[in-house]
Structures are given as structure tokens and as C-alpha cells.
Structure 1
Amino acid sequence: MFPELTRDDVFRLETRRLWLRWPRMADASAILRQAGEKAVAEMTASIPHPYPVEAVEPFIFAMRKGNALGEHLVLAITPRSKPNELIGMIGAHRQATGVPFIGYWLGTAHWGKGLATEATQALIDTVFSLSEIKAIEADARVINPASKRVLEKSGFRAEGSFLKSLPARGGLFPCEQYRLDRSTWAALKTWGTSGWTHAPEIEPSVAVDTPGEPCPA
């Protein structure tokens, strides 16, 4: 499902304000701090709160391995001007149905700026452009209007509510199911140009005491 182009860690997506790149071990502290925030974690299926420090590096390794094998495409969201500075994560994941599933999270300091929408639209463009898939799916907790707005602004159609198992939350919770068909994407794609490119050479990330946890919702 995910082509050879995406299976090398030089793969990047560029938008007006963002670089989306493979996660790396130097992102561990940023992931731990930001994804581990209660406001972020509680809206996801798989991010625990608090986030165990020992779980971050195995998570990054698993995401990189899955990218290399073409099992998924999980990318760190970073400011275009500061590509070492992880502020969130986004990913497209293979499902048994053959329809990929998109999930994302963004650190609370970066909410309300349209960045999640910008990243989501870039990944949608990439998945449809580089594959023959017919649709993309996503979901959001019914108590998460911000995430639902991101999906709606990206062309997704709500298909109804259901109870979803959220392992990190400890049970079943009401969620809203969303779907974006290729034909709808082609007809409604008006969010401008994004593209995949090699990033400029950047300095190795400096470890800062900024934890955060990744794993799309």
C-alpha cells in the first residue's frame, strides 16, 4: 500500500508551514512531554497517561520499522523553519479491509492554528497520489469537536457513531466514524499544493526536556 518512495527516511512532506518527516530517536523527549499531556492522550486510543518513559524509544523504533516495511506511514509534524522540533505526529495505517486509517495528535501549545488540518491534508494528498486506494477512513471521539472539524475541513464525511475500544482509556467509548472517497477528494481538493521532497540538511536534534508521546488516535 505504501510505495518504495515512502520507505526511506529521507522522505519528507512539505507544506506552507510544516515539514512532515520520519520520527527519530532524538524526538523521544518531545514525544514524551507533548503526547503524554492528559488533554492529548485522553482523545486517543493508544497513548497512555502518564506516558511511561521506557515506552517512547520502542515506539519510535516500531514506527520507523513499519515505515521501512511499507506497513504504515507515520511522520513527525515539525515547523518548516525548525525541522528538528517535533510538535505532533500523524500517520496512515493499513487496515484488513485495505482502506487506510489516518490518525494524528498535536501538542496543546500548537492547537487552534490550523496545523493539524494542514498536516492532514498533506498526508491525504500523498496517500491518494502515491497509491490506488479508493478511500481513507478516520474517527474521532464524540467529545473531540476540534478533531472532527479537522476531518470535515479535509473532506471527510461523517458516517455515524459507534463504540470503539480505546485500550489506553480502558474500555469502549463513543466515536464518530469518517470516510473520504477518492472521488470526493478529487472534486473538493482546494487546499493548495503540498509535496514530498528531501529536507535540507539539519543539525542533529538537541535533547530538551520536552516529553511527548506519538501514536495516532
Structure 2
Amino acid sequence: MFPDLTRDDVFRIETRRLWLRWPTARDAEAVARLAGDPAVARMTAQLPSPMPLHEAEGFVLRVRAGNTEGKGLIMVVCRRASPGQPVGIIGIGPRPEAPAPHLGYWLGRPYWGEGLMSEAAAAIVEAYFAYAGGRELVSSAMVDNPASRRVLEKSGFVADSCGEIFSVARGETVAADSFRLDRAGWLDRRGRVS
């Protein structure tokens, strides 16, 4: 899915305020703490709360292997001023139930409300379509998570359908909206933004 350019852990994406970089072993503690926060995990489908350190360590190892193979691109989100301190995770990868590669993300609660994830999402979406030659991306947002919906809409995603997903942290099925962005929509948006 992703080209050789992204398959080395020196690959980074820089934005005005952020660095998106490969996760490292030293990030596992921050990932466990931030992702395991009940308020964060509750807004995702796959994060447990609390998140044991060994699960975060396993996540880092799986992500690095997947990035190396080009199966996806999952990056740690850091402020440029503190590139060693993760504030969240963003990535694009396959999901068996998804019709196209899936954009997923979470942001630590202390960093909510600053527009950081919108900035990170715009950057990784650009990398997917520009570097990987992507044709289509999908994502989802729980109905009771308007902030995630705004992140997707700012990146050009369009609501596609409403359904249900199982939330690990909630231990139940919840309503979620599906979103999609195709290459034509990305090119159109890119032309308007430039």
C-alpha cells in the first residue's frame, strides 16, 4: 500500500506544529497512559481502558512491522517542539471489514481542542494520496463524538452511512457514522485549498 519512501523509520511528516513519526519502544508508556484514559478509549472502537503497558509495547512492535512491510502507515503525533513526547496516534491501514484502507486516530485528552488532530489528519491523507497513489480512504466516528467528525470533514471526508461498531472500552455496540474520501474528492479539495 505504501511505497519504500515510508518504510524506513527515519520517515517523518512535518506540519506547521507537528511531527508525525514512527513509534519507538520509548513511546509505549505514553501510549498506554494517553490511549488508556477512559475518556479517550471511550471515543474509539479498539482501545481498551486501562491499557496495560505490555499491550502498548505489543502495539509498537506490530506497527513497526506493518510500516516496514508497507501494509499501512501508523505514526506517533508529536509537537514539533517536543518530538520525543507523543500526544496521539494516527494511521492508515487495512481492516478486514472495510472496503478500502481505513484512517484511524486518537489524541490524548490534554491536547483536545487545539486542532492538532485535524492538522495531523490533513498531513497523512495528503501522504496517502500523493505518495502511495491511494484511490480511496474510509473512516468512522461514533455518533456521540462530534470532534472526530469535524476532523474527518476538515480533511474532505463525506459521511457515507450510519451503522454500528463494537467499542472495546464501552463493551457494547454503539452508533457510528462511516465516512469516505476518494481520489477525485481529494484532488478537488486540494485544488481549492492550494
Confirm or deny a common fold (TM above 0.5): yes
Q: Name the count of aligned residue pairs.
A: 192
Do residues 44 (structure 1) and 51 (structure 2) align? no
Deviation of 1:94 (Å): 1.8
Q: 1:35 to 1:95 in 2, by over 3 A?
A: closer
CA contact (8 A) 2:45 2:168 kept: yes
Contact 1:3 1:70 in 2 (8 A): yes
Aligned-residue CA RMSD in angstroms?
1.5
1:144-196 CA-partner distances (Å, limit 9, x unpaired) = 0000011111110001210123344323211000001111111112566xxxx
The answer on 1:56 being equivalent to 2:42 is no
Query: Secondary structure, in 3 states, of the residue corresponding to 1:90?
Result: strand
Give, in angstroms, the shift of residue 132 of structure 1.
2.7
Q: CA deviation at 1:116?
A: 0.3
State the TM-score, normalizing by the size of structure 2: 0.94
Give the equivalent residue in structure 2 for 1:172. Answer: 173
Moved over 6 A (4+): none
- Per the alignment, in what secondary structure is the counterpart of residue 120 of structure 1? helix
Residue 7 (structure 1) aligned with residue 7 (structure 2): yes
More helix by share: 2
Q: Pick closer, same or farther for the CA change 1:185–1:84 going to 2, 3 Å.
A: same
Partner residue in 1 for 2:131: 130
Does the CA-based 8 Å contact 1:121-1:191 persist in structure 2? no
In the alignment, the residues of structure 2 paired with residue 137 and residue 163 of structure 1 have an alpha-carbon distance, to the nearest angstrom, of 15
Percent identity, please: 44
> Normalised by the size of structure 1, how large is the TM-score?
0.84
Residue 159 (structure 1) aligns with: 160
How far the C-alpha of 1:53 sits from its partner, in A, is: 2.3
> In structure 1, what is the Cα distance between the partners aligned to 2:38 and 2:95?
27
Larger RCO (CA under 8 A, 6+ residues apart): 1
Q: CA deviation at 1:103?
A: 0.5
Going from structure 1 to structure 2, the CA distance change for 1:21 and 1:136 (only over 3 Å counts) comes to same
Q: Secondary structure of the residue that 2:86 maps to in structure 1?
A: coil
Q: Which residue of 2 aligns with 1:188?
A: 189
For structure 2, the 5+ residue unaligned runs are: none
Partner of 2:83: 83
